């Protein structure tokens, strides 16, 4: 049996998200590297040994749950075998992580160090709350400047949504779309200018893969055959790292941090949490509420209150730090 082929066929039959399938497959590869046995010989005790090893190596709870889910899926839907009862160590509670949120002043310094389409992409991620993968896969028609909206198709969890388009980025966006039009015309003149379409749309609309509206908004410099692809997450992250370093900021700031900053600053600006939830595409309001107090601890330090007077050698003095 070709395990990889059978596995991805099972993923497709159950309409699971592509990212989930890729994550599960990566777990199965690591499991095979640990036990060194063909899939036909995998057993419940093998799974038990591996998960105990992950516990011993102090893997994060999320990673251990992913590994278990991947193996349960594979045994149930691919190998068609029962895992049996597993004697596993208790799964620890997932620790709440603290979000790193840059200030608006820090964001300004980072943006000053970005150039070209990456600067515009960063503006969309912060101004519209986009994930980096969503931003890379935007098509020209997903931007509605007049309605001030951005359409996200098949985002995380294969969900689609509408989010706001910041007015501050619209002048740059208009210029970028005109540049994209010129690039597409040049590609078409050179016998290229095609783009891959989702699912079976290429069969339904025979000429759509040549139209400007379906082209990737943020193209790659690479052309394969007649097709120009979109820019990659890593190319954006690389420029972000350089801009953060040049700005002298020691916080860990990534492209996804811009989405965190959107959520936090949007609620601090007076947006209703439910509205921000819809704009971000969160399934649970609890996830959105994490960002309400994400950028700073609330309350005040006693050191910032008027310092108390203390008696030193019979005289009243202020307690001060040198």
Indicate which CATH number applies to the domain containing 53: 1.10.150.130
Q: How far is residue 302's CA from residue 283's CA, in Å, rounded to a whole number? A: 39
Q: Which of 156, 161, 210, 293 is catalytic?
A: 156
275 in the same domain as 226:
yes
pLDDT of amino acid 181: 96
Domain presence at residue 88: no
Which of 228, 259, 260, 265 is labelled catalytic? Answer: 259
* In a shared domain, residues 149 and 280: yes
Q: Which residues does residue 227 pair with via DSSP β-bridges, in sequence order?
A: 194, 224
Is 56 in the same domain as 127? no
* 85 inside domain: no
Within a domain: residue 91? no
Q: Give the residue among 19, 32, 105 at the shortest CA–CA distance from 66.
A: 19
For position 288, what pLDDT does the model report? 83
pLDDT for the residue numbered 320: 47
* 270 and 145 belong to one structural domain: yes
Structure tokens, 25: 């497959």
Strand boundaries in the chain, DSSP class E:
143-144, 149-152, 161-164, 219-224, 227-230, 309-312, 315-318
Predicted local distance difference test score (pLDDT) of residue 317:
52
Residues of the chain falling short of pLDDT 70: 1, 92, 94-96, 293-322
Residue 89 falls inside a structural domain: no
Domain that includes residue 186, residue range: 100-322
The pLDDT value given to residue 293: 65
Q: Which residues contact 191 (CB under 8 A, 6 or more apart)?
A: 226
Residue 119 appears among annotated catalytic residues? no
Residue 156: active-site member:
yes
Q: What is the pLDDT of residue 100?
A: 84
Residues near 58 by beta carbon (within 8 Å), at least 6 away in sequence: none
Distances (CA, A) of 247 to 102, 158, 160: 12, 36, 35
pLDDT value of position 88: 87
Catalytic residue among 24, 126, 131, 265: 131
Check if 291 is active-site: yes
Which residue of the set 30, 81, 256, 293 is catalytic?
A: 256
**Same domain? 49 vs 172:** no
Select from 79, 111, 137 the last residue of a domain: 79
The reply to whether 93 falls in a domain is no
- Residue 100: burial class (beta carbons within 10 Å; 0-12, 13-18, 19+): middle
Tell me the CATH number at 240: 1.10.443.10
Identify the sign of the CA torsion 200, 157, 67, 254: positive
Contact 71, 64 (CB under 8 A): no
pLDDT for the residue 321: 46
DSSP SS3 for 128: helix
Q: Are 119 and 202 in contact (CB under 8 A)?
A: no
pLDDT digits (tens, 9 = 90+) for 204-231: 878 888 899 999 999 998 888 899 999 9
Which of these, 138, 132, 168, 133, lies nearest to 151 by C-alpha position? 138
Active site residue 256: yes
**Could you count the other beta carbons within 10 Å of the beta carbon of residue 154?**
14
């Amino acid at each position: 049996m070709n395990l990889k082929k059978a596995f991805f066929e099972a993923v497709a039959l159950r309409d699971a998200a592509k990212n989930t399938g890729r994550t599960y497959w990566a777990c199965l590869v690591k499991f095979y590297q640990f036990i060194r046995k063909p899939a036909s010989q995998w057993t419940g005790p093998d799974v038990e040994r591996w998960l105990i090893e992950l516990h011993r190596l102090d893997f994060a709870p999320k990673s251990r749950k992913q590994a278990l889910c991947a193996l349960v899926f594979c045994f149930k839907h691919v190998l068609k075998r029962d895992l049996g009862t597993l004697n596993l160590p208790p799964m620890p509670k997932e620790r709440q992580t603290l979000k790193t949120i840059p200030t608006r002043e820090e964001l300004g310094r980072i943006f000053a160090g970005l150039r070209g389409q990456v600067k515009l992409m960063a503006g969309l991620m912060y101004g519209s709350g986009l994930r980096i993968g969503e931003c890379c896969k935007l098509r020209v028609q997903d931007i509605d400047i007049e309605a001030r909206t951005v359409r996200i198709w098949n985002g995380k969890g294969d969900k689609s949504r509408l989010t706001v388009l910041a007015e501050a980025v619209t002048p740059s966006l208009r210029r970028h779309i005109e540049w994209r039009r010129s690039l597409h015309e040049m590609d078409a003149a050179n016998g290229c200018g095609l783009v891959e379409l989702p699912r079976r749309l290429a069969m339904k609309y025979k000429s759509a893969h040549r139209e400007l509206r379906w082209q990737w908004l943020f193209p790659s410099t690479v052309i394969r055959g007649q097709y120009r692809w979109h820019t990659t997450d890593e190319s954006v992250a690389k420029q972000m790292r350089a801009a953060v370093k040049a700005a002298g900021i020691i916080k860990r700031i990534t492209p996804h941090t811009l989405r965190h900053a959107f959520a936090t600053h949007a609620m601090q600006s007076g947006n209703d949490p439910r509205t921000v939830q819809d704009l971000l595409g969160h399934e649970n309001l609890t996830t959105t509420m994490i960002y309400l107090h994400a950028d700073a601890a609330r309350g005040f330090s006693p050191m910032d209150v008027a310092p108390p007077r203390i008696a030193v050698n019979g005289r009243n003095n202020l307690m001060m730090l040198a």
